[in-house]
Structure 1
Amino acid sequence: MKTRTITRYRTVPHTVDGETELITEPYTVDIPLPPRDWDQLVRAGVTTGAVVLVTVSVVWSTASIGDLLDRVVIAPAAYGAAVAFDTAWIMCMAVEWLCRYDPPRARIARYAGHIALAIAMAAVFAHGSLADQLVVGAVGAVVSAVAKGAWMIAMTVHARPLDTRTQQWVAKRRAALDGQRAMIPVRRELLRSQALIEAERAALTGPDWNPDHDPTESGPATEDPDDEQPAAPAGPMTVKDAVRTALDSGMSDPDRVLAYVRTRADANAKPATVDRYIRLAKLAG
């Protein structure tokens, strides 16, 4: 068994002139080496080879298509546009990799990559044809196909297919979480719209406008004191202050007090908390 030597440290006592202190002492130990993971080495080699081939394909296609477009436009624009041909199918491969656990979405990226690859190969072949070098054009076009094929093989090495039941479970979980994420900008947009509406109303009606006031309401009813709503405070309220305000306004029903607290102070106020403040307020009164 192969081993390797490493240095570790331990604390030991050391005495000088009858006084003992703890000092750090280095020592060496031999630990066994794990067996070489040839599968991982081969996997890394395949991935590296695919990356190299993709790089070669980009360089070749850019030079070939750039020279083709250079006939009608300036060189910077020609070679800049030439990069887009191989970049398109490379991006499709990246999307296919990210969606490897979502077969429908990965399938779309795969088909789009094939179309982008065919366009890039046709452009390279057209360059060779115009230069009266059909063989060179054909071989150059095959370079991109070889690079994409190598990357597809590398993806099969790294892919971990899921069974049908697990795939459905992943799809449902992803849909639920994506729905929650999608609601974040939706809620933000709704709040922004509401704020704009209230700002416009305040600008049109003056500084005394209250967004919680309904102009269609008549005066306070005298039949039941609990139906009378207390006036809105000028600033933010705590749960305790909201309970005190509701009781001072004549509310006696705990449910109505709770509704008022949730409207004016805390939308998530708990009934037990409101009841406790009601008892404290009655004791104090």
Structure 2
Amino acid sequence: MRFKTEKRSRTVQHTRDGITHDVTEPYDVRVPVLPADWDQRAIKAAVAVVMLLTTVAVVWSTYSIGALLEGGMGYAAAAVFDAAWIVNVLLEYLARYDAEKRAFSKKLGWGLLICTMGAIFWHGLLAGSVALGVVGAAVSLFAKVLWMGIMRFINRDLSEADQQWVKAEISRSNAQLAIAGVRRQVARAENRAALELLAAEQTRTEVAEWIGSTAPAVEAPAAPAAVSAGSSTASALTSAPEGDAATLRRRDVTNPGNPLFQAPVIRKDDDGYPADDEFAQVSEPDNVHAIRPDVRPAPETTPEPPAASADDDDRVPEQKPRRISIASAVRKAVADGVTDAETIVRSLGERFDRKEDPTFAATVKRYVREAKNDQADDQAHGLYL
């Protein structure tokens, strides 16, 4: 066995003045010389010769077929014949492990070769020389038959079991590739669906905002002062269109947001104080005002009614001064700037001597909320007197 000397390099540590660095150091090593692979050299030489012959065949066939097609673009069309055959040879090389695919490439190669040889022979006949046609066609035949011989050394024939194993591995890999592609398509479709839903929601929101900004305000019809609260409520509710909940709420005279809303009257006990039972205090609503109820605090004393005429038998008896009601006291406190419910409960609890009464505290807090809502409506729309 022969040996040869090769120069290689390695990293070593080099120290100067107490400082160490890694440096590269060359060295020689003897390695055995491998014997020449004459098989590889032979196949490479054969491929080189066949490629040279193929180049000559391509040039000759292109010239002959191009002249047959009257030159010009005919030469470009003639190049298609040999280009198709070369592509087929590459396909046969890629199918060197698959006998079925390789068989199709062989059949296709013979068909392309016959077409090319026929066109070259036809050109020789038109040129008036049978020898030109035969020899020209033989050039392509020799070059391409040599390629088929080389492919027999390149092709790798497998046993039946090995072929099944290779097909199973290829099938598994193709299945993974197909699953990845399908998952990508599913992800793309899901993302598209999510974007469509977001776009639909955005459109619905914009339409709702546009309707809310452009819809005309519902005006409450004026009601005569003599009409009772029951008839006003019925007419307001029946006049609203079916299914229009917003309109029903606006026209419901028992709703504090309705311009026709009138606070319920607080019933008094025998001593002139509000009744202990919160629900017993609410009486039937008074007549509905045409525009908006008067939310101003009630006076401390009720003014005396005007004297009745001599012809009026139903005289109003003289009324005694009465204490202010809880609702009036709460509205007055809120109007004075006191908005804390606990503070108002403590103040009115001492005033009405009901500091330990939970029902009284709940009633006061409810009146505070109503007074705040009325005050907010007055600030937003103006006070209607």
The interval holding the TM-score normalised by the smaller chain is 0.5 to 0.7
Secondary structure at 1:109's aligned position in 2? helix
Q: Give the % identical residues.
A: 40
* Structure 2 portions without partners, runs of 5+: 206-385
Greater share of helix residues, 1 or 2? 1
Asked if 1:46 corresponds to 2:49, the answer is: no
- Superposed, 1:19-30 pairs within 5 Å as 26-30=26-30
- Note closer, same or farther for the CA distance 1:207–1:14 as it changes in structure 2 (3 Å cut): closer
The TM-score, its normalising length taken from structure 2, stands at: 0.47
2:113 is aligned to 117
Query: Does the 8 Å contact 1:66/1:78 carry over to 2?
Result: yes
| Partner-residue secondary structure (3-state), 1:187 | helix
Alignment of 1:223-234 (within 5 A): none
Q: Which runs of 5+ in 1 are unaligned?
A: 210-285
Distance 1:203 1:20, change over 3 A: closer
Q: Distance in 1 between matches of 2:105 and 2:66?
A: 26
CA shift in 2, pair 1:172/1:11, >3 Å: closer
Task: Name which of structure 1's ranges 192-201 and 142-151 shifts more when overlaid on structure 2.
Answer: 192-201
Deviation at 1:193, TM superposition (A): 3.7
* 1:54-105 C-alpha deviation (Å, 9 max, x unpaired): 2221111111111111x2xx61x21111110011111111101101111111
Retained in 1: the 8 A contact 2:9–2:26? Answer: yes
Partner of 1:102: 98
Q: CA deviation at 1:146?
A: 1.1
TM-score normalised to the size of structure 1? 0.62
Q: RCO higher in 1 or 2 (8 Å CA, sep ≥ 6)?
A: 1
How far the C-alpha of 1:194 sits from its partner, in A, is 4.0
> What RMSD, in angstroms, separates the aligned Cα atoms of the two structures?
3.2
| Contact kept? 2:3, 2:33, Cα under 8 Å | yes
**Distance of 1:193 and 1:20 partners within structure 2:** 62
Residue 197 of structure 1: how far off its partner (Å): 4.3
* Residues 207, 105 of structure 1: alpha-carbon distance in 2 compared, 3 angstrom cutoff: same
**Does residue 1:177 correspond to 2:173, yes or no?**
yes
Looking at structure 1, the residues matched to 167 and 21 of structure 2 have their Cα atoms a distance apart, in angstroms, of 62
Give the match's secondary structure for 1:6.
strand
What amino acid is aligned across from residue 170 of structure 1 in structure 2?
A: V
Matched residue SS, 1:34: coil
- Structure 1: how far apart are the matches of 2:42 and 2:7? 32
Compute the displacement of 1:168 (Å).
Answer: 0.8
Q: 1:27 to 1:169 in 2, by over 3 A?
A: closer
- Cα distance in 1 for partners of 2:117, 2:50 equals 18
Corresponding position of 2:140: 144
The aligned counterpart of 1:159 is 155
2:6 is aligned to 6
Matched, 1:58 2:58: yes
Look up the equivalent residue of 1:41 and give its one-letter code: R
When the two structures are aligned, how many residues end up with a matched partner?
205
Shift of 1:190: 3.7
Change (3 A) 1:80 1:183: farther
- Structure-2 separation of matches of 1:91 and 1:20: 60
Q: In the alignment, residue 154 of structure 1 is paired with which amino acid?
A: I
**Distance apart, 1:151 and its partner CA:** 0.9
Residues 202 and 12 (structure 1), Cα distance of their counterparts in 2 relative to 1, 3 Å cut: closer
Out of 85, 88, 93, the residue aligned to residue 92 of structure 1 is 88
1:250 matched to which residue of 2?
none
Return the offset for 1:145.
Answer: 1.4
Aligned 8 A contact 2:60 2:136 in 1: yes
Alpha-carbon spacing, 1:3–1:184, altered in 2? closer, same or farther (3 Å): same
